[in-house]
Structure 1
Amino acid sequence: MLLIKPKFVEKCISRRFFSDGNVIKPFESIPGPKSLPILGTLHKYLPYFGPYHFDRLHKNGLKKLNKFGPIVREEIVPGVFLVWLFKPEDIETLFRVEGKYPQRRSHLALEKYRLDRPNVYNTGGLLPTNGPEWWRLRRVFQKGLSSPSAVQNFLAGTNDVMHLWLRRINDLKSTEKYDYLPELSRLFLELTCLATLDIRLDSFSYQELKSNSRSSKLMQAALNTNKCVLKTDNGLQIWKKIDTPLYRKLKRSQKYMEEVAIDLLSLKMSLFNDGSRNTPTLLQSYLSSPELDFKDIIGMVCDFLLAGIDTTTYSSCFLLYHIAKNSPVQCLLYEEAKKLLPTTNSPVTMEVLAEAHYAKAVLKESLRLRPISIGIGRVLEDDAEFSNYHVPKGTVVVSQNQVSCRLEQYFPTPHEFKPERWLKDHPLYMKPHPYLLLPFGHGPRACIARRMAEQNMLVLMLKLIRNYKIQWRGNILDSRSLLINKPDGPINLKFTKRE
């Protein structure tokens, strides 16, 4: 008979070797790329030499999954451990242990820039801030954006902007080899400013189309900032001590966005004070909140511009790419749009959106294939277990939803664009794991403007397809990782006016 000493049992339990009959393996045994002293795994991301690339996170993830399995441990920056998760069950666990104030390790250079300017900002803003201070901002800023009934207040303005944008598209439709990405950026800049500040920038006017205009420079500032975020988060972070070229680029971009935000806020406050606007707006609710001051709102406007322009623009680019490449999908979408919008000038209403079932399925399928980002990151507040591995408090854990959503084990024919897989009454429908498709995040820290973004993309899709037949004239489109997924080529579309 084998005798087990009590001290050995206590030792095993203290090291979490046993849990519900499963062996819990130590953190150090999680497989992953080999880390070097001082360098971590940065050498594996060197251009032309390493197997990985910072601007192709989805390809990196698939390589790591195939080589190491569904949970991967990596030390990109020395001393900062990351764990990549591919199984939806592990992703679910991640969100169940995220706590009251979910923590992120992101936009670190942006946080430094703002905290170094206490005369302008109180905090680093919604994107990098953690803890109770993050929740103070989030609790107030999500009011007016967190429900379908709240965002419907923006529908009338969205229809007006969309009408003007379609006129711009009509002027361009005969242009050969034209990249429509900047046009979509202008659209979502206009919609973001309308919702956040109740201001029209007239981004489609002749003056604003110039490269040195305010709207053009705002679009470039948002792009430059997003380009800097991933590299400053994951590099050696010398920028914390000295102004590196990358950090100076981020500072210049943020300084411009900050100046515009202050100018526009000052303009709106003067209009509110003279009583020229009677209908309460989102901005007025923020300005009247006792929990916020002017510096909080400056950060909010900059955050909304930073997060609202490029994310929705890029997602819409991929959406139109998939529709243009799939004629049967476009035909069904047009039939629905024609039924819901009797004329080409009919507005999109809440009643229309409620019945736009196929359009919603098209959007969902596009976000499955090309989500806003590779996945969602959290810093563990407590020890956790993933795939029978112990992961300690303080570890950065990142889900790999973009990779998992393209695996055969979760979605049949995963690389094909099939919106019907999301329609409950269709033979192709198969309910996936609820933690596979999370394009806007999940839980208290999910995208604050998710419903607004979805509404805007649905309006764009319905109005555009009701007015035009679209064809793809470019190459196969993939994504580049700028923290968010950006198309890796021009959005070369052909628009044909429908009779």
Structure 2
Amino acid sequence: MISEIKLGSFGHKFYRRMSVQVSAKLSNTENGPKEASKLDREWLKAKDFSEIPGPSTFKLLSHYLPGGKLHNSNLIDFYKLLRDEYGDISQVKGIMGKPNVVFTYNPADIEKVYRTEGVWPIRVGLETFTYYRKKIRPDVFKNVGGLVSEQGKAWADIRNKVNPIMMKVQTVRHNLPDIDEISLEFLQKLEKLRDPETNKIKTNFHDEVKLWAFESICCIGLNRRMGFLSSSGSIDPDALRLSEAMSKFFQLSFEFDVQPSIWKYYETPKFKTLIQTYDEITDICTKYINEATSNFGKGEGPSGVLEKLCCIDKQIAVVMAIDMLMAGMDTTSSVFLSTLYMIAKHPEKQNALRREVTEILPNNHTPLTTENTKNMPYLRACIKEALRITPITPANFRLTGCDVVLSNYKVPKGTGVSMGMMPLTNSDVYFPKSSEFMPERWLKSGEGACPHAKATNPFVYLPFGFGPRTCIGKRIAEMEMETLLARLIRNYKVSWYGDDLKYTSNIILIPAGNMRFRFEPL
């Protein structure tokens, strides 16, 4: 990908720079033989892969049985059990068609995996997702699996085409007026749901935020407003079915793609439910995409993300639109709620944020624009800090691009490596005063800036991943969250009452229980 395929503005220059540091097996630099010799010596001195500690297949399966430590558990419980029992590096042998996986909490290991992953990094996606697109619905996907499913050159070809559109700030910010309008509609709905006596929300606030996130991503991905925030209450029934199917997909996929499952050998009734959920998502999205594309080409030029993608490759546009919707509701709403919770729990930080936002929005009639949203360093720092404390996923995953030595153990090429980020970002070893919510640690300058409190190792904090496979929806999610946070903090004093916020974890970390926010109008 360094020489054959251009990555667009994001990642290309960085990855070219990193390429000179990979092993001689992947490099033709002058230092190749010397580096090879060094790596060979390291490999010869390392312990054998089989010596990496970890549970036997029988013991692991027994943990998931009724009465076992992991029965009805989530990913955080699983990671904690492995680390408590086996330390900072462990392995789980592949079962039921899954590859061997090494679990590491060593930043040096994480850096090595990323820097030796090769020109086409491999991140195993959701296998049921790939199976559905390639085997069950080739009529829709036409052998284009998308960024989650594809690997190698097929993945790089797609990424190369979509990067200039989805990773370029100027392109994504073209949708800012629509996203700002959606945020203002959310505030109008919030006012109707707010009890004026207690300032509490009469309905499930988590559900309301999910609808906001879905309305926003549908506007970008489908070029369509769904009406979830409409005061008239007239929502397309298909839109409701779609939002419900998206939430169901996350839970079912966790059961079949993460936990041990026999779906490759026998289709259980619940697996058939997952396939029906995929069908529902695919069919409804396809209908909306066809409606949107029928109106393209009538303006002066391509306007939104979907239309720009269609100009490049319509089939890729279809796949990317569906992927955006599948990834853009629970993820964005979860990070948003975590950030709002942290802000609500720390009034002094909220006041600092409000001062910044008020300068940009002197009144509610002031629009958020590409220009004035450049001046929100503290708001962005709040999101970064919330992602440090509660990342959207507790670990990042890769397959090793070559034979590597991790924590003095030989790890063969093609081995899965789960890199546990959450315990590292919540450790004083890497982030001073890690238990404190300190947005100031992300500020480079200005009053209160405290950059020395940020980890010096860049491989400890990677909430959106690293390198060419960095999350493709990063720019979109940031724009959506920044817009709604700015509007909310400008109009309300937000507080939290009751017990601390809890989380559940399937594929991602999701806030659980009642969202105990109060919204006091300013």
TM-score when scaled to structure 1? 0.89
Instruction: Describe the shift of the 1:142–1:48 C-alpha distance in structure 2 as closer, same or farther (beyond 3 A).
Output: farther
Residues 190, 200 of structure 1: 8 Å contact kept: yes
Superimposed CA distance per residue, residues 38-90 of structure 1 (whole angstroms, 9 cap, x where no aligned partner): xx62322345422x467532343344334322212112635631111212221
Residues 492, 521 of structure 2: 8 Å contact kept: yes
**CA–CA distance in structure 1, aligned partners of residues 62 and 49 of structure 2:** 23
Q: Which residue of 1 aligns with 2:26?
A: none
**CA–CA distance in structure 2, aligned partners of residues 33 and 466 of structure 1:** 51
Tell me which of 278, 283, 289 is aligned to 1:259. 283
Q: Structure 1 residue 204 and structure 2 residue 218: aligned?
A: no
Q: Which residue of 1 aligns with 2:119?
A: 100
Structure 1 residue 286: Cα displacement: 2.1
Q: Structure 1 residue 75 and structure 2 residue 93: aligned?
A: yes
Q: Which residue of 1 aligns with 2:145?
A: 124
Q: Structure 1 residue 430 and structure 2 residue 453: aligned?
A: yes
Structure 1 residue 124: Cα displacement: 2.8
Residues 110, 459 of structure 2: 8 Å contact kept: yes
Instruction: Describe the shift of the 1:46–1:414 C-alpha distance in structure 2 as closer, same or farther (beyond 3 A).
Output: farther
**CA–CA distance in structure 2, aligned partners of residues 47 and 494 of structure 1:** 39
Structure 1 residue 202: Cα displacement: 1.6
Runs of 4+ that moved beyond 3 A: 45-48, 52-56, 175-178, 206-210, 234-237, 276-280
Q: Which residue of 2 aligns with 1:447?
A: 471
Instruction: Describe the shift of the 1:423–1:62 C-alpha distance in structure 2 as closer, same or farther (beyond 3 A).
Output: farther
3-state SS of the aligned residue for 1:217?
helix
Q: Structure 1 residue 347 and structure 2 residue 367: aligned?
A: yes
Superimposed CA distance per residue, residues 197-224 of structure 1 (whole angstroms, 9 cap, x where no aligned partner): 22111221257577x8333222211111
Superimposed CA distance per residue, residues 135-166 of structure 1 (whole angstroms, 9 cap, x where no aligned partner): 22222222312122222211111111111111
Tell me which of 65, 68, 78 is aligned to 1:49. 68
Instruction: Describe the shift of the 1:453–1:231 C-alpha distance in structure 2 as closer, same or farther (beyond 3 A).
Output: same
Superimposed CA distance per residue, residues 74-116 of structure 1 (whole angstroms, 9 cap, x where no aligned partner): 1263563111121222111111111122112221011111112
Alignment of 1:138-217 (within 5 A): 138-174=159-195, 178-205=203-230, 213-217=237-241
Residues 52, 91 of structure 2: 8 Å contact kept: yes
Structure 1 residue 339: Cα displacement: 1.9
3-state SS of the aligned residue for 2:505?
strand
Instruction: Describe the shift of the 1:56–1:235 C-alpha distance in structure 2 as closer, same or farther (beyond 3 A).
Output: closer
Residues 54, 92 of structure 2: 8 Å contact kept: yes
**CA–CA distance in structure 1, aligned partners of residues 223 and 325 of structure 2:** 13
Superimposed CA distance per residue, residues 353-393 of structure 1 (whole angstroms, 9 cap, x where no aligned partner): 22211111111110001111112111223211111211012
**CA–CA distance in structure 2, aligned partners of residues 427 and 106 of structure 1:** 37
Residues 296, 302 of structure 2: 8 Å contact kept: no
Query: Where in structure 1 are there 5+ consecutive unaligned residues?
Result: 1-12
Structure 1 residue 342: Cα displacement: 0.7
Query: Where in structure 2 are there 5+ consecutive unaligned residues?
Result: 1-35
Q: Which residue of 1 aligns with 2:262?
A: 238
Q: Structure 1 residue 35 and structure 2 residue 54: aligned?
A: no
Structure 1 residue 128: Cα displacement: 2.2
3-state SS of the aligned residue for 1:41?
helix
- Alignment-mate amino acid for residue 303 of structure 2: P
Instruction: Describe the shift of the 1:343–1:104 C-alpha distance in structure 2 as closer, same or farther (beyond 3 A).
Output: same
Q: Structure 1 residue 287 and structure 2 residue 305: aligned?
A: no
Tell me which of 370, 376, 381 is aligned to 1:361. 381
**CA–CA distance in structure 2, aligned partners of residues 102 and 252 of structure 1:** 31
**CA–CA distance in structure 1, aligned partners of residues 388 and 186 of structure 2:** 27
Instruction: Describe the shift of the 1:323–1:53 C-alpha distance in structure 2 as closer, same or farther (beyond 3 A).
Output: farther
Tell me which of 45, 57, 64 is aligned to 1:23. 45
Residues 379, 397 of structure 1: 8 Å contact kept: yes
3-state SS of the aligned residue for 1:262?
helix
**CA–CA distance in structure 1, aligned partners of residues 372 and 423 of structure 2:** 33
Q: Which residue of 2 aligns with 1:10?
A: none
Tell me which of 497, 500, 503 is aligned to 1:473. 497
Give RMSD over aligned pairs.
2.4
**CA–CA distance in structure 1, aligned partners of residues 139 and 355 of structure 2:** 55
Q: Which residue of 2 aligns with 1:8?
A: none
Structure 1 residue 308: Cα displacement: 1.0
Structure 1 residue 184: Cα displacement: 1.1
- Alignment-mate amino acid for residue 386 of structure 1: L
Residues 54, 91 of structure 2: 8 Å contact kept: yes
The more displaced of 404-413 and 233-242 is: 233-242
Number of residue pairs matched?
Answer: 475
- Alignment-mate amino acid for residue 111 of structure 2: E
Q: Structure 1 residue 377 and structure 2 residue 401: aligned?
A: no
Residues 189, 229 of structure 2: 8 Å contact kept: yes
Q: Which residue of 2 aligns with 1:4?
A: none
Structure 1 residue 299: Cα displacement: 2.2
- Alignment-mate amino acid for residue 243 of structure 2: M
Q: Structure 1 residue 315 and structure 2 residue 339: aligned?
A: no
